[in-house]
Chains A and B, each alone.
Chain A
Amino acid sequence: MAATDKTADPLTREGVSAGGLPPTEHGPTVTARSYWDLVWRRFRRDKGALWSLLFIVLLILVAFIGAPVAAHFLGHGPNAPHFGMDTFTPVGPWTYVPGVSGKDLLILGGDDPTLQRDEFLRLLYGAQASLEVAVGAMVISMSLGVLLGAIAGYFGGWIDSIISRLTDVVMAFPYLLFVIALASTVGSRIDNITFGFLGNGVLTLILVIGLFGWYYPARIVRAQVLSLREKEFIEAARMVGASDARIIRSHLLPHLVAPTIVYGTVIVAQYILAEAGLSFLGLGIKLPTASWGNLLQAGATYYLNQPLLMLWPGLAVLFTTLAFNLLGDGLRDAFDPRSSR
């Protein structure tokens, strides 16, 4: 009974069925561990995933709080140029350059021979743009994917055929080439829409990356819903007369929470790479707004003279992507212990 229950409904209070001891007057009361409690207990054992979570939280704090604070203390912004340096390469780390108010310290040096903007601040502000793009595009992909996948899986028939064919079509496109095509043609028109808080070009990337990435979550959710649909608890709900909307909301969606969180996390990692790639090609975040992609581009230009310039954004992308991938892996094991390697 316990085994079938677990596979059928992860929201069952496993503690009760596994412990089997009803609270009595004599013994201590056995409190049931909730689903989320169990997930957290399994997640906690994965040290790599825990450190990744910590890294991501710190990164968000550094990007959105640390960056303005650092700019305040250094006395210049990430886009402030420092003219008058007589060099053919960006200046090296820990250099004082003439600024608006006396000498400005460039902790990681400059980013460009003529402009000499602060690489350190640009790296911090670049994290904002990169995270905004990755998370924003993830939200679009996942909402579209879960919605279409759930509809296709639940209703089946011709609706399923249409949505499945649509996923096949999107999968047949060479993803990167089409993203490049869209970013180069549509991009220039919506680059300036920022809603007051996004960077220049962030919305373009969110739309372009997000709208092409929904097919993978859609396929996963569809497969999941197809198997859930045949389970007894859905049949029971239907038998007592629950409407489709109610069955989807109360009986299907709770089961989709785990895969959505896991794939959402992994997709953020992919989108950080996508942002870096597109901005590297000059199609993403437009200068002077900083992003890890266009910092990488600047680094690539001077990599023989100032190799550190490509190392910083490169490592930032590597560690962030790694953290999201490890977190996703840990979450998958925590949600579904049977999948563990």
Chain B
Amino acid sequence: MTRYVIRRILWALVLFVVVTFVSYVIFFLIPADPVKLFAGRQATAEDLARAAHYYGLDQPFYVQYWKFLSRLVANGIIGKHAMGFSYANRQWISHVIKDRAPVTASLVFGGAVFWMLISVPIGILSALRPRSLADRGATIFVFIGISAHPVFLALIFLYIFGYKLQLFPIGSYADFFNPPEGQPGGPIQWAWHMFLPWCTFAILFAALYVRMIRASVIETMSEDYVRTARAKGAPEWIVMRSHILRNALLPIVTMLGMDIALGMGGAVFTESVYSLPGLGQAVVQSLETFDLPVTMGVVVFATTAVLIVNLIVDILYAFIDPRIKLA
């Protein structure tokens, strides 16, 4: 077990280095001229040389990358000096991330609660009665869920529930803890503002999970131990609870960890349509102004989050399910 955990952690470290290296290449070596972006438009040749020297851009690129990586690690990825500052407004990247990560987190985790609330009952019901009317309905939901674009869903929801029916606010965010002066805040306002984003974000994953839970439950129902439990006369709800669901939902829990991490990427669309000031919106805004350090900061932060969550899920899973191959 210890060996497995160590190997898993080492692999996560390797991935971290690869991912930061690739992002570094993409963001600081490929773009036409990072020095020009740093120094501004009206810089003279002398200014450019000075800026290049100041930011260390005149050094060979492996030195640049090494400095970047050591700064990142020494400052713990979100420390103040970890990733420099924005070209556009000289804000610390770490500041941008600290401001915006909670918004994305509330979208992603709230969305995860939503999609589990939708998919677990639907998945189980349609597994219990395959080819019934309910099952067919669930299948239609699955196909529409995986085919609709989140941007389109968000716009439809906003138009119908926000604009026509005026049930929900359009394009604003309410902070849970400390809202800015004169703006709504607190748990109720927060949930009210987040309801449509949660629905939008959850539908794709809900559809995928209905499909997975249905398949998993159907497969588990044909296991020998389920037949044995029925044969010894266990009541149906006990069979369902302790024998079928416990085993069928275990792989779903692992998937959940991975998908919450992946959802950070998918949040980009939901955030940009609902104008939620999250990481996704920061990426979109930084793209418009060609503010590469911000884009890069979010990418590195999100990737690290994904790596850590996957690591935790893998290790937990090895503890929960001893059958897992510890090779």
Residues of A with Cβ closer than 8 Å to B?
A: 168-169, 172-178, 180-182, 184-186, 269, 273, 276-277, 280-283, 296, 299-300, 303-304, 307, 310, 314, 317-318, 321-322, 325-326, 329, 341
The residue on A at minimum CB distance from B152 is: A314
- The list of the 10 closest CB pairs from A to B, nearest first, reads A176-B265, A314-B152, A321-B147, A322-B147, A174-B265, A172-B15, A177-B299, A310-B155, A185-B30, A174-B302
Across the interface, do B152 and A296 meet the contact criterion of CB distance under 8 Å?
A: yes
Across the interface, do A325 and B307 meet the contact criterion of CB distance under 8 Å?
A: no
The residue on A at minimum CB distance from B211 is: A341
Can you give 25 contacting A-B residue pairs, CB < 8 Å? A169-B19, A174-B306, A175-B265, A176-B266, A176-B268, A177-B298, A177-B303, A178-B22, A180-B287, A185-B27, A185-B30, A276-B151, A277-B149, A280-B269, A281-B284, A283-B287, A296-B149, A300-B273, A314-B152, A314-B156, A318-B148, A321-B148, A326-B143, A329-B143, A341-B139
* Contact (A181, B26) CB under 8 Å given A276-B151, A310-B155, A318-B147: yes
Per the bound structure, the CA–CA distance linking A40 and B169 in Å amounts to: 51
Across the interface, do A184 and B295 meet the contact criterion of CB distance under 8 Å?
A: yes
- Residues in A with CB closer than 8 Å to B292 are 185
Instruction: Tell me the residues in window 155-176 of chain B with beta carbons closer than 8 Å to chain A beta carbons.
Output: 155-156, 158-159, 163
Chain A CB within 8 A of B76 CB: no
Min Cβ gap B108→A in Å is: 12
Across the interface, do A282 and B287 meet the contact criterion of CB distance under 8 Å?
A: yes
* Contact (A172, B26) CB under 8 Å given A178-B299, A185-B31, A318-B148: no
* Contact (A325, B143) CB under 8 Å given A172-B307, A181-B299, A280-B151: yes
Across the interface, do B268 and A300 meet the contact criterion of CB distance under 8 Å?
A: no
Chain A CB within 8 A of B224 CB: no
The residue on A at minimum CB distance from B265 is: A176
- Residues in A with CB closer than 8 Å to B15 are 168-169, 172
**Among candidates A174, A273, A280, A322, residue contacting B299 with C-beta atoms closer than 8 Å:** A174
* Contact (A307, B159) CB under 8 Å given A181-B23, A184-B295: yes
- Residues in B with CB closer than 8 Å to A276 are 149, 151
Per the bound structure, the CA–CA distance linking A303 and B30 in Å amounts to: 37
Across the interface, do B303 and A303 meet the contact criterion of CB distance under 8 Å?
A: no
Instruction: Tell me the residues in window 24-50 of chain B with beta carbons closer than 8 Å to chain A beta carbons.
Output: 26-27, 30-31
Per the bound structure, the CA–CA distance linking A299 and B159 in Å amounts to: 12
Per DSSP, chain B at the interface is: helix
- Residues in B with CB closer than 8 Å to A314 are 149, 151-152, 155-156
**Among candidates A172, A299, A307, residue contacting B303 with C-beta atoms closer than 8 Å:** A172
* Contact (A303, B147) CB under 8 Å given A172-B306, A177-B299, A281-B268: no
Across the interface, do B19 and A173 meet the contact criterion of CB distance under 8 Å?
A: yes
Across the interface, do B299 and A317 meet the contact criterion of CB distance under 8 Å?
A: no
* Contact (A299, B155) CB under 8 Å given A184-B287, A282-B288: yes
- Residues in A with CB closer than 8 Å to B238 are none
Across the interface, do B266 and A318 meet the contact criterion of CB distance under 8 Å?
A: no
Per the bound structure, the CA–CA distance linking A231 and B19 in Å amounts to: 39
* Contact (A182, B26) CB under 8 Å given A169-B18, A281-B284: yes
Across the interface, do A322 and B143 meet the contact criterion of CB distance under 8 Å?
A: yes
The residue on B at minimum CB distance from A273 is: B149
Chain A CB within 8 A of B144 CB: yes
Per the bound structure, the CA–CA distance linking A303 and B164 in Å amounts to: 12
Min Cβ gap A212→B in Å is: 11
Per the bound structure, the CA–CA distance linking A310 and B149 in Å amounts to: 12
Across the interface, do B159 and A177 meet the contact criterion of CB distance under 8 Å?
A: no
Across the interface, do A317 and B152 meet the contact criterion of CB distance under 8 Å?
A: yes
**Among candidates B130, B139, B273, B283, residue contacting A177 with C-beta atoms closer than 8 Å:** B283
Chain A CB within 8 A of B272 CB: yes
The residue on A at minimum CB distance from B144 is: A322
Across the interface, do A180 and B146 meet the contact criterion of CB distance under 8 Å?
A: no
Per the bound structure, the CA–CA distance linking A321 and B310 in Å amounts to: 30
